[in-house]
Amino acid sequence: LYEMRFDALDANPVKAISALYDHFGWSDFETTVAPALRTYSQSLENFKKNSFSKLSDDAKRVVNARWKNWFVDLKYDADDA
């Protein structure tokens, strides 16, 4: 099992996937996967992600109540919901 936060993958995909390879002891990342991943990451440089409006306070309370255990377990800031 290996858990990776999306924000880590999003910020630096090569570093994040390299850590995954290291975790499992897989070899040849730099020669087999990294070049293609770098090329793909560079192709996304101008990609604009969707933006979403903030949740209302009532909606935040519902999300926080229902997902509290996950927020705590995964160390997410519930205020970002």
List pLDDT tens digits, range 34-64.
999 999 999 998 999 898 888 899 998 998 8
Contacts of 33 (CB under 8 A, 6+ apart): 17, 21
Q: Are 23 and 2 in contact (CB under 8 A)?
A: yes
Mean predicted lDDT score pLDDT of the chain: 90
Q: Does residue 81 carry a pLDDT above 60?
A: no
